[in-house]
Every structure is written in C-alpha cells, then in structure tokens.
Amino acid sequence: MTKTVDLRSDTVTQPTAGMREAMMAAPLGDDVFGDDPSVNALQDKIAALLGFEAALYVPTGTQGNLCAILSHCQRGDEYIVGQMQHCYRWEAGGGAVFGSVQPQPIAHQPDGTLALADIEANIKPDDPHFARTRLLALENTLGGQVIPMGYIEEATALAKRKGIARHLDGARLFNAAVAQAAQARTDARTEARRIAQCFDSVSVCFSKGLGAPAGSALCGSKELIARARRVRKMAGGAMRQAGVLAASASYALDHHVDRLAEDHALAQRLAAGLEGIEGLQVEAPHTNIVFVDLTGAARERSAQLLDHLKAQGVLATGLYRLRFVTHLDVDAAGVDRAVAAIRSCFHA
C-alpha cells in the first residue's frame, strides 16, 4: 500500500525509532511531586538553551500560552496581540474565559508584524475607564513567516520602555531560528536564544516540527514559572509519569532541530512545483508552511480539490486558501506526489 502524504500539519508526525527508544528508557517519577527526573531534565535543558531561569513542561502549547497570559496578567488587565496569532484566534479565548484578561487585537502588517505605532497607540493610560495594559504577545513563526529579528528587538524594547511584559508564542521557534541562522550564517540554537532573550517568557512546542508526540514548555523567571505552575494546576494540572513524553522532547532537542532545514527545503520544492498553475497563487514559504490561494476557475473547483487529493493519498487543509505543511514524515517523493496530484486536478 502506498503511504499517505499527510501535509495537514507538522503535528501528525510519528516518533522516530530513536525517539521511541529514548521514551522507553526514560527514568520516571511523579511530576506532581516534582520528582520525575526526565521532566526535570527537559525543563532544565530548554531553560538553559533559551537563557531562562526556569521552565515548566505542559501538555499543549495552548496551555503554555494560557499559563503565560494568566501569570503576567490579572483580572481586568489586557494583553496586546495580533489578530492572527494563535493565542488570540485559535485558543478559544482562554485568557478571557478563565482569567478575565482582555485581549487587545491589532491588525498585522504584510510581513506578519504589528506596527510599532499601533502597539504604542493601544497601550492604555492609567485610567479606571480602561483595562490595564500588562503584556505584549508576539508569535514567531506566524503562519510559517519568520518575524524579522530587528523588528522583534524594536517591539520588545518599546514594550519594556512602556513597562509592560513580553511573551513569545514560539510554537515553531526553532523553525524561525533555523531559517534565521541560514541567513546569518550562525547556528539555530544561537538564534533561538537570541530571539528568546527579547522576551520575559517563551512557550515552545515539541510536537510540531520537532516531532515529539506531545508537549510544550513555558520558559521564564523562577517567579513567573511558580505562578504558571499554579495556573497549570487550575487548568487541569500536571501529568504524573510524564517523563515518557518529556524524554521524546529531550531527544527532539538533541536530534531534530537542525534537520528542520530539510522541511524548509521541501516546502520550497512544493511551492516551486505549483508555480504556473492557472488560478493558484502560491506564497513563497519562509519555513515549512506553504499557503496557496485559489482564484477564478480554480476557486470554483475548491470543494472537490481536497477529495481529489485524498483519493490520491495526499492530505491537506483549507478551502479557497490551502495550507500544506512539510515535516519529518514527508520526503521529496511525497512532495512530488502532492504536486502531481494537484496538477492533475487542474489538468496543469
């Protein structure tokens, strides 16, 4: 049977053989008591790697962002965030629902940034009419776009001058770091730390491009992580012998960071293969996500496209705007199959 080419997300990856071995060999304890050695080792590793005092292992990136927002903000506070950021649009309004923390969304610029003037204009004065602005939240990558380092430095410096905290949703931080390192001719870990050090807290996902089956980490000061640990308890609590999962994340940090460049190259291959098809507007990918907008006659066939692809063993998401995500379980042959399947749908 031909293997399905699953381009729906980098969350669909399966643990590699080496990762499975690391998981099976992981020493375990009870993380609620703080004595799971594999969890503790992972928390120490990611905190040190990104330059923070402490880290907290959480089941999901959504929980990591929620812990961050509710650790930085109190009831009646607000955080400034982009309209298309995950912690605003795709996390069910958790900060508002559970913490009575108001989001202040701002429109993105074409490069994914938030205009500095818009950030400054939305920082509220100390007046009882307004929610108290406590936090600026950014995301990198944003829909696969790498947020420019110079901009990150300027935006976070502005927030610091204005006395508000800074959080990064770094679900795909290492994708951004790998792409940035290629341009700067440095290494991905240096760039990841360079990005992270602009912020007071950073959440990192292990179950996307890094290929672990589950888990994220929130990094910050000891004080912030102590508050986040309490929020995690209210949001469902810690897991017990979570070291089985933590070991997969540690393995991913050791073995799967630099290989993200392969995913980026495959995304470029996919985008190049789709160029020239009438009605398809292909966005040049920064990292491992390719967006394709359908226009004209191609738009009219959008409802049939995903079924057509599925019938040929290719999975994707979207309707008029398609999303394809490359990852460690996709190879060049799989990308070429996807290109051929799409072209056959449009007879291109």
- Inter-residue contact 218 to 56 (CB < 8 Å): yes
Would you state the pLDDT for residue 25?
98
Would you state the pLDDT for residue 302?
83
Residue 134 parent element (H or E): strand 132-139
Residues with Cβ within 8 Å of 336's Cβ and at least 6 positions away in sequence, in order, are: 269, 273
Distance spanning both ends of the chain, measured CA to CA: 27
Return the domain boundaries, the chain.
15-255, 259-345
Q: pTM value?
A: 0.97
Distance separating alpha carbons of residues 137 and 87, to the nearest angstrom:
8
Distance separating alpha carbons of residues 272 and 219, to the nearest angstrom:
37
Distance separating alpha carbons of residues 176 and 196, to the nearest angstrom:
11
Would you state the pLDDT for residue 348?
59
132 φ/ψ angles, rounded to the nearest 5 degrees:
-85, 120
Q: Tell me, which fold does domain 15-255 have in CATH?
A: Aspartate Aminotransferase; domain 2 (3.40.640)
Amino acid at 102: Q
Angle between helices 260-274 and 173-184 (to 10 degrees): 80
Residue 219 parent element (H or E): strand 216-220
CATH class (in words) of the domain with range 259-345: alpha beta
Give 10-residue mean pLDDT values along the chain (348 residues). 91 98 98 97 98 98 98 98 97 97 98 98 96 98 98 98 98 98 96 98 98 98 98 93 98 98 98 95 97 91 90 95 97 97 86
CA angle 158, 161, 167 (to 5 degrees): 60
Short-list 209, 213, 221, 137, CA closest to 173: 209
Residue 47 parent element (H or E): helix 37-50
Please compute Rg for the chain using Cα positions: 21
Distance separating alpha carbons of residues 140 and 168, to the nearest angstrom:
7
